[in-house]
């Protein structure tokens, strides 16, 4: 285990981080737009769902100086200044002025009661809401409610971390407009929906359990690492415990638990504590990273940069304590993101240096940096405010904390197993040596088996070759012997015409033997010179005509020829091309009846030149089609025909040398059909 952790470098980590980043950004943009002009429908369907979300139904107007009143923004001439939002609202950091939001309610008859407005405004200081309500006389008026992080929790209808307002009694019909004004010195964002009470209670309970579970787990990890840090001489665990503790408090502040549970009537103090924890969390993160990566030893130059960041964060902490977090908020968020990206780069360096505990840190900070980038972009209004962009930071933070915890545990495990490292390494080396020798032995056995198989194939070819050559040479030798005997036999008449006839037989037999020898020599020459072809541009049609004329003089066969009038250009070795065409045409003449025609067609097919040769013989048995291009192969149906099985083999080999192919089949009307496909353009090198 120690050996593997020391030597293997997980090269998949960087692609994993990049893939997670792309997936995160894709999910951040995955919200489907809805026409914001469509009112929020409160009907039977919404009642069955339990809620009607505001995403896609909101319209927004920026008030740069914050001077507009509700009466002014509700004027008819202001309607065109509201821009529809595709999803939820995200105004980013807007320390000056305010944002006005509006959405319409369409209340169906019988569904006007027991609705609650839920607003997710985690970092908004001031939220003002104007809700339409039905008076006793049936008129519709607007009721103003004041919420936000800088206002007491008692102004909410429910004491929950999420702002909730009761919408009763709602006027039926509509559309009725709900107006919302948000402002403050932190991130301005808003999600929301109109909920039924039972569904709202279930959702709030679920969210409370999730928050409690996360905080409890982080606190438990902080206690465990604190105990480990006290029992082990390793400050990394102590700094990690401090980092976990500040992360737990920061998360509780972000979810408004501090404001609701501890400071319900002191919202300004709760907000200031949140701002201070943002800086203190970053400060402990910097100090922990400095210890975790052994920066003074591993990265002495970058340590100076970290010291500068620590000093600036300490200054930011002082500014936050003074109540001016709005001045440094963008810088704090940017420093968080920059630190995460820098740590990712440093972890990559440590992984490449072979440190086993560096890869969990790389995973943790890669995830944290990715979701931090999404969170930072969301705060600057570069990404839409969706459930994913809101809670991806929490999910990424948990993955980050768990990965770091795992990395620290791995350090302990390695320390405990250090005493066994030498024996494990020796065992691993022995196992590697045995494996290497076994692999070499297996390779040698396989090589010998392949050699034996090749020898068997060569022996089979040699036997087939000797059988065919002896058969092919026996016939012409018998003819030569018989004719010579007739000529020299004194008991037979020696008329000149008889001598001439027998001499002709001897000549034809000698030519046949000479052709066999030429074929064998051509095969050997083809194998030895395949890489030394001399291709040049040829007129394919002219070459084919010369071939047909040569065969027409020595044969009474009818050979038809088709070729485009403009001719066909081909880059090929003239000698090899002549051997290819000669073997094809000779094969067609040999295996078809004497009174049938041979059809030769040349044509252009894309970037290739296509040559087809068809005869009207018995065709090729289906069992032989896949083997007729093999060396020395002859079908059992043509054993009586002369030949040694090299002609079609050389055809295929020459076609392959030129980068082409050859195929065989049976024509629709009967007879064999051979197709040669050769590239018209010159090839870079022979195959």
pLDDT digits 0-9 by tens, 188-223: 888 889 998 889 889 888 888 888 888 898 899 899
The whole-number pLDDT of residue 32 equals 42
Least confident of 55-69, 70-84, 456-470: 456-470
Share of the chain above pLDDT 70, in %: 80
What is the percentage of the chain residues whose pLDDT exceeds 90?
14
Task: Measure the CA–CA gap between 471 and 462, rounded to whole angstroms.
Answer: 14
Could you give the C-alpha distances from 213 to 218, 251, 274, 474, in angstroms and in order?
9, 12, 20, 96
Question: Distance (Å, rounded) from C-alpha 496 to C-alpha 482?
Answer: 17
Closest C-alpha to 281, from 334, 241, 243 = 243
pLDDT of 315 > 90? The answer is yes
Tokens representing 449 are 């088996």
For residues 222-246, give the mean pLDDT: 87
* Alpha helices per DSSP H over 556-646: 574-590
User: In this predicted structure, what is the pLDDT of residue 4?
Assistant: 34
DSSP β-ladder status, 89-93 and 187-196: antiparallel
Q: How does pLDDT run across 143-184, given as a tens digit for each residue?
A: 899 988 888 888 888 888 888 888 877 888 888 899 999 998
Contact 193, 178 (CB under 8 A): no
pLDDT, residue 601, reads: 92
pLDDT of amino acid 192:
86
Is the pTM of the predicted complex or chain greater than 0.85? no
The helix (H) or strand (E) run that includes residue 126 is: strand 126-134
529 has a pLDDT exceeding 60:
no
Q: Does the domain at residues 34-204 carry the CATH identifier 3.30.360.10?
A: no
Pairwise CA distance, residues 519 & 522, whole Å: 5
- Say what the pLDDT of residue 8 is: 42
Q: Residue 28 has what pLDDT?
A: 46
Contact 272, 326 (CB under 8 A): no
Q: What 3-state DSSP class applies to 125?
A: coil
Query: Quick check: 33 pLDDT over 50?
Result: no
At residue 469, the pLDDT reads: 62
Please name the helix (run of DSSP H) or strand (run of DSSP E) that holds residue 465, with its range, or none. Answer: helix 421-488
**Which contiguous run of DSSP H or E holds residue 351?**
helix 325-352
pLDDT, position 360: 85
Contacts of 617 (CB under 8 A, 6+ apart): 588, 591, 592, 593, 596, 671, 672
- pLDDT at position 471, please? 54
Element holding 98 (H helix, E strand): strand 98-107
Highest mean pLDDT among 256-260, 281-285, 492-496, 546-550: 281-285
CB within 8 Å of 479: residues ≥ 6 apart? 505, 506, 508, 509
User: What span, in angstroms and rounded, lies between the C-alpha atoms of 222 and 251?
Assistant: 14
Nearest Cα to Cα of residue 13 among 3, 1, 21: 21
pLDDT on residue 524: 62
Residue with tokens 């840090």: 229
pLDDT confidence of 390, banded at 50, 70, 90?
Answer: low
Q: Which three-class secondary structure state does DSSP give residue 300? A: helix
- Please choose, from the candidates 356, 8, 423, the residue with its C-alpha nearest in 3D space to the C-alpha of residue 431: 423
Range among 20-24, 180-184, 516-520 with highest mean pLDDT value: 180-184
Name the least confident of 43-52, 373-382, 573-582, 625-634.
373-382
Rounded Cα–Cα distance for residues 400 and 344 (Å):
12
Write out the H or E segment, with its range, that includes residue 189: strand 187-196
Could you give the CA distance from residue 82 to residue 73 in angstroms, rounded to a whole number?
Answer: 9
Domain 531-679 -> CATH class? alpha beta
- What are the residue ranges of helices labelled H in 293-324? 295-298, 300-321
Q: Which of 174, 259, 247, 179 is nearest to 217 (CA)?
A: 247
**The pLDDT of residue 684:** 64
Provide the 8-state DSSP code for 681.
Answer: S
Average pLDDT value for the chain:
80
Q: Would you state the pLDDT for residue 522?
A: 62
Helix, coil or strand: residue 680: coil
Task: Identify the band that residue 1 occupies on the pLDDT scale cut at 50, 70 and 90.
Answer: very low
Question: How many Å separate Cα 447 from the centre of its chain?
Answer: 38
Q: Which pLDDT score is estimated for 9?
A: 43
The pLDDT value given to residue 352: 87
Residue closest to 181 by CA, chosen among 298, 98, 122? 98
pLDDT-derived band at 103 (thresholds 50, 70, 90) equals very high
Give tens-digit pLDDT for 620-665.
888 888 788 887 777 766 666 666 677 788 888 888 888 899 999 8
CA dist 376 and 336 (Å) reads: 9
Q: What is the pLDDT of residues 71-84, one digit of tens each?
A: 999 998 998 899 99
């Amino acid at each position: 285990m120690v050996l593997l952790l020391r030597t293997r470098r997980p090269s998949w980590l960087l692609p994993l981080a990049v893939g997670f980043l792309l997936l995160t950004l894709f999910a951040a943009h995955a919200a489907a737009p809805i026409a914001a002009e469509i009112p929020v429908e409160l009907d039977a369907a919404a009642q069955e769902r339990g809620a009607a979300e505001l995403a896609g139904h909101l319209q927004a107007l920026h008030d740069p100086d914050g001077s507009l009143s509700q009466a002014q923004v509700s004027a008819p001439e202001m309607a065109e200044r509201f821009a529809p939002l595709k999803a939820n609202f995200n105004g980013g950091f807007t320390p000056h002025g305010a944002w006005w939001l509006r959405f319409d309610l369409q209340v169906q008859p019988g569904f006007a009661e027991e609705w609650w407005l839920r607003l997710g405004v985690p970092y908004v200081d001031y939220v003002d809401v104007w809700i339409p309500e039905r008076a006793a006389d049936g008129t519709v008026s607007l009721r103003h409610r004041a919420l936000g992080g800088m206002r007491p929790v008692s102004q909410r209808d429910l004491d929950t971390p999420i702002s909730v307002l009761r919408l009763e009694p709602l006027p039926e019909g509509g559309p009725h407009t709900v107006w919302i004004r948000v402002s403050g010195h932190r991130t301005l964002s808003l999600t929301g929906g109109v909920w039924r009470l039972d569904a709202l209670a279930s959702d709030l309970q679920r969210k409370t359990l999730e928050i409690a579970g996360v905080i409890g787990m982080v606190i438990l990890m902080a206690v465990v690492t604190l105990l480990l840090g006290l029992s082990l001489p390793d400050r990394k665990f102590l700094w990690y415990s401090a980092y976990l503790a500040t992360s737990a408090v920061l998360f509780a502040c972000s979810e408004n638990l501090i404001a609701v549970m501890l400071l319900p009537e002191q919202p300004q103090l709760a907000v200031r504590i949140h701002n201070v924890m943002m800086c203190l969390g970053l400060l402990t993160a910097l100090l922990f990273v400095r210890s975790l990566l052994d920066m003074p030893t591993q990265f002495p130059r970058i340590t100076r940069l970290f010291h500068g960041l620590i000093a600036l964060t300490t200054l930011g902490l002082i500014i936050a304590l003074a109540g001016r977090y709005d001045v440094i908020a963008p810088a704090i968020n940017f420093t968080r993101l920059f630190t995460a990206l820098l740590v990712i780069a440093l972890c990559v360096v440590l992984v490449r240096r072979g440190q086993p505990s560096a890869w969990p840190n790389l995973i943790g900070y890669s995830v944290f940096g990715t979701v931090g980038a999404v969170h930072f972009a969301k705060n600057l209004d570069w990404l839409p405010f969706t459930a994913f962009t809101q809670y991806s930071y929490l999910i990424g933070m948990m993955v980050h904390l768990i990965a770091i915890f795992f990395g620290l545990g791995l350090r302990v495990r390695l320390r405990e197993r250090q005493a066994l490292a030498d024996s494990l390494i020796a065992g691993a080396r022995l196992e590697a040596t045995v494996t290497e020798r076994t692999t070499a032995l297996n390779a040698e056995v396989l090589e010998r088996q392949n050699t034996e198989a090749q020898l068997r194939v060569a022996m089979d070819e040699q036997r087939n070759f000797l059988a065919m050559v002896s058969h092919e040479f026996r016939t012409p030798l018998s003819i030569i012997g018989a004719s010579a005997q007739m000529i020299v036999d004194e008991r037979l008449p020696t008329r000149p015409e008889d001598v001439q006839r027998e001499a002709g037989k001897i000549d034809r037999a000698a030519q046949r033997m000479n052709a066999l020898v030429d074929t064998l020599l051509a095969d050997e020459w083809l194998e030895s010179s395949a890489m030394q072809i001399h291709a040049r541009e040829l007129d394919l049609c002219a070459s084919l005509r010369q071939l047909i004329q040569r065969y027409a003089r020595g044969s009474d066969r009818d050979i038809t020829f088709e070729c485009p009038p403009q001719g066909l250009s081909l880059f090929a070795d003239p000698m090899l091309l002549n051997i290819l065409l000669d073997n094809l045409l000779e094969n067609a003449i040999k295996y078809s009846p004497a009174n049938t025609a041979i059809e030769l067609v040349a044509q252009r097919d894309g970037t290739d030149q296509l040559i087809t040769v068809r005869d009207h013989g018995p065709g090729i048995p289906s069992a032989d089609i896949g083997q007729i291009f093999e060396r020395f192969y002859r079908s059992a149906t043509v054993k009586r025909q002369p030949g040694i099985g090299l002609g079609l083999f050389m055809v295929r080999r020459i076609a392959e040398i030129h980068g082409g192919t050859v195929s065989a089949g049976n024509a629709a009307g009967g007879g064999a059909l051979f197709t040669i496909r050769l590239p018209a353009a010159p090839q870079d090198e022979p195959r």
